[in-house]
Amino acid sequence: MSTKNITIKNRDGVGWEILYPKTTIAQVEGLRNELNTIDAVAKGKARARVFDTVADMEAWLDIDENVDMLQAGDNFYIREVEVPDYWWDGTKAIDMEVEKVVFPLAGTTGEGFMSADDYIKLRDIAPNANNYSHPTGDGNTHVPATSTTSNGKVLTAGATQSSASWKTLTEANIADRSHTHPRSDLQAGTIAIGSTEPAGLLVGDIWFQT
């Protein structure tokens, strides 16, 4: 079997770096890891694992057997909502650096989500609480509108329902208020003038005291 000279080169982003004959075991292992990484990503073999907290993820990564199963591109999803998720770059977990999603609250300037306070307020409103109908029976109607034309007038009830109106008070609108006395109060008497009270007074007598 003939012997062939083989040169191993690695693309470093600018040019080709010769790995062999100066190839070392560390370089070959590193190249193998890079090739495995590229192969896993290209074939879509990235997998996802879910953890409750970042601490749980870090504890899992502290176990060598778990790390040996990882492939570059694997995702670590954290259930905690205030922390980011991570992905495996081949050697360590990297923050995905996904921008936190902020849900705006609805307001007068735009649509959004309901706040907890608004939800509690709406929850505590009784069904049909704002479904009000004003009574329409007799005695439930509103007072007629007032204006300069009704100034000084009195509210007068009409003969039918909801017929109250403003009217000017006149003698014709006022009931008879005449007053009567018994005849004995009006009988003729005497008129006395003097400094002393007259004797034998009768009803109707008039005395002018001097």
pLDDT digits (tens, 9 = 90+) for 134-191: 888 888 888 888 887 888 888 888 888 888 888 888 777 676 667 676 656 555 567 7
What letters, b where the CB count within 10 A reaches 16 and e where it falls short, cover 119-131?
eeeeeeeeeeeee
* pTM exceeds 0.75 for this model: no
CA 165, CA 158: separation in Å to the nearest integer? 7
Total residues found in the chain within this entry: 210
pLDDT tens per residue, range 11-40: 666 677 665 555 555 555 556 666 665 665
Question: Sign of torsion, CA 176 181 182 184?
Answer: negative
**How would you label 186-197 residue by residue, b for 16+ Cβ within 10 Å and e otherwise?**
eeeeeeeeeeee
> Can you spell out the DSSP letters for 157-195?
--SSTT--EEE---GGGSPP------GGGGS---EEEES
Quick: pLDDT tens for 103-137: 788 888 888 888 888 888 888 888 888 888 888 88
pLDDT score at 137: 81
The residue with tokens 């690695």 is: 10
Domains and CATH numbers, the chain: 7-45 (no CATH), 46-108 (3.40.1620)
β 86-88/75-78 pair status: antiparallel
